[in-house]
């Protein structure tokens, strides 16, 4: 059957030889004492790149979002999220369990929330109400199929947030995919947010880690929360070293992943029984509707696996395929011919 083509996620990417070398050679110290020079370099580099004062290296995107929520809010606060957001869907309810935060969701359009709808759910001063503590957006938006939220829509949300003095956090797990699709530096997106989390371990292919960025004062507080949730690592420079290579070398090549996703979507759209809108594929995620094949997404993925291609069931009839550095144009062609034979 040959090599398995793994399109489940960009999290499956393995570190490059250059990352492994950098990890081997990394200069390290005890980061809880603030003495790991490689972690510090990564944090400074990330902050500079996103136009913020300071950065904090965290274990995962989930931890980065959780620490951001803990730092911005108090128990009993309301957190406003888009209804399909990763924080709401896939982070194990951590904000409620560990932060005592109540979530209020707003239905979005391809991940973006309408400023008017947002304004309706922001709490006033009524004695009965929990205070609205934070608004978080996600760009690119995972469940919306890697949709990019345009700058005007972010700006409109920020204007509402400012009117009520509410901070904003960005789940920017894939912010560099968004920046590439928008044709702007990532800092142009980040400037609308008080804090941003982005991942090194997805399309950028580092083995572990995300970075939280914000003001110096805010990051100092976030550092304490990171310690509380057990994220104070010691000689973490070994991991940060790969993150530095990720930021320096792996951002520009995301263009290939986007091109492969578009190619894949265009090919899938030609296969009878499959529904996908190639115009909606803006980055590296393809949402494929398999309802008309009569198969569930689970069954579709199971059949596909037998033929050497891995994909994720996302909803009962929606399959997600994600492109990344460890799959090639040839793999896209192979995937198309495998799927076409499978449903044909």
Residues 15, 201 contacting (CB under 8 angstroms): no
Measured from the CB atom, the residue of 11 and 215 that comes closer to ligand TLP is 11
Strand-pair partners of 171: 138, 197
User: Coil, strand or helix: which one is 325?
Assistant: coil
For ligand TLP, the closer of residues 112 and 122 by Cβ is 112
- Supply the DSSP symbol for 262: H
Is residue 283 within the footprint of ligand TLP (CB under 6 A)?
Answer: no
- Three-state DSSP class for residue 79: strand
56-64, 125-133, 176-184, 297-305 -> range binding ligand TLP (CB under 6 A): 56-64
Q: Taking CB under 6 A as the rule, does residue 92 contact ligand TLP?
A: no
* Residue 74 neighbours by CB distance under 10 Å: 12
Burial of 12 (0-12, 13-18, 19+ CB in 10 A): middle
Shortest Å, Cβ 292 to ligand TLP: 25
CA distances from 173 to 142, 147, 230 (A): 9, 13, 21
Structure-block tokens of residue 272: 């009878």
Nearer to ligand TLP, 210 or 317 (CB): 210
| ∠ Cα 35 251 326 (to 5°) | 105
Here's the x/- map for ligand TLP, 284-323, by CB under 6 A: it reads as ----------------------------------------
Pick one of 43, 78, 171, 194: the residue that binds ligand TLP (CB under 6 A).
Answer: 171
Size of interface with ligand TLP, in residues (CB under 6 A):
14
199 binds ligand TLP per the rule CB under 6 A: yes
How many CB atoms are located within 10 Å of the residue 10 CB? Answer: 28
> Using N-to-C axis directions, what is the helix angle for 297-306 and 329-343, rounded to 10°?
110
Comparing every residue's Cβ against ligand TLP, the nearest one is 61
13 near ligand TLP, rule: CB under 6 A: no
Told to check if 260 binds ligand TLP by CB under 6 A, we report no
90 makes contact with ligand TLP (CB under 6 A): yes
Which residues contribute to the site for ligand TLP (CB under 6 A)? 9, 11, 60-62, 86, 90, 138, 142, 171, 173, 199, 201, 210
């Amino acid at each position: 059957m040959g090599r398995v083509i793994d399109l489940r996620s960009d999290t499956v990417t393995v570190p490059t030889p250059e990352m492994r070398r950098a990890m081997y050679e990394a200069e390290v110290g005890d980061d809880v004492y603030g003495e790991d020079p490689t972690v510090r370099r990564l944090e400074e580099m990330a902050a500079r790149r996103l136009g913020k004062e300071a950065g904090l290296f965290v274990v995962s995107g989930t931890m980065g979002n959780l620490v951001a929520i803990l730092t911005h809010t108090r128990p009993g606060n309301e957190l406003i999220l888009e209804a399909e957001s990763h924080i709401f869907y896939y982070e194990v309810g951590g904000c409620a369990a560990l932060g005592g935060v109540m979530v209020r969701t707003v239905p979005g359009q391809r991940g973006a929330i309408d400023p008017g709808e947002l304004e309706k759910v922001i709490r006033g001063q009524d004695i009965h109400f929990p205070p609205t503590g934070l608004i978080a957006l996600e760009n690119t938006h995972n469940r919306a199929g890697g949709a990019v939220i345009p700058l005007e829509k972010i700006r409109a949300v920020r204007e509402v947030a400012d009117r009520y003095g509410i901070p904003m956090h960005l789940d920017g797990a894939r912010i560099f995919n968004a920046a590439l699709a928008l044709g702007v530096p990532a800092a142009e997106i980040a400037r609308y947010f008080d804090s941003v989390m982005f991942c090194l371990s997805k399309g950028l292919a580092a083995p572990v880690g995300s970075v939280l960025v914000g003001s110096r004062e805010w990051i100092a507080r976030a550092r304490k929360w990171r310690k509380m949730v057990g994220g104070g690592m010691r000689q973490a420079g070994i991991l940060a070293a790969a993150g530095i290579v990720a930021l320096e070398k792996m951002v520009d090549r995301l263009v290939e992943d986007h091109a492969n996703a578009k190619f894949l979507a265009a090919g899938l759209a030609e296969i009878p029984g499959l529904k996908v809108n190639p115009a909606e594929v803006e980055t590296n995620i393809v949402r494929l509707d398999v309802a008309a094949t009569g198969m569930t997404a689970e069954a579709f993925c199971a059949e596909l696996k037998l033929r050497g291609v891995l994909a994720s069931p996302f909803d009962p009839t929606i399959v997600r395929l994600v492109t990344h550095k460890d799959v090639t144009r040839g793999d896209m062609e192979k995937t198309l011919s495998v799927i076409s034979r499978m449903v044909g």
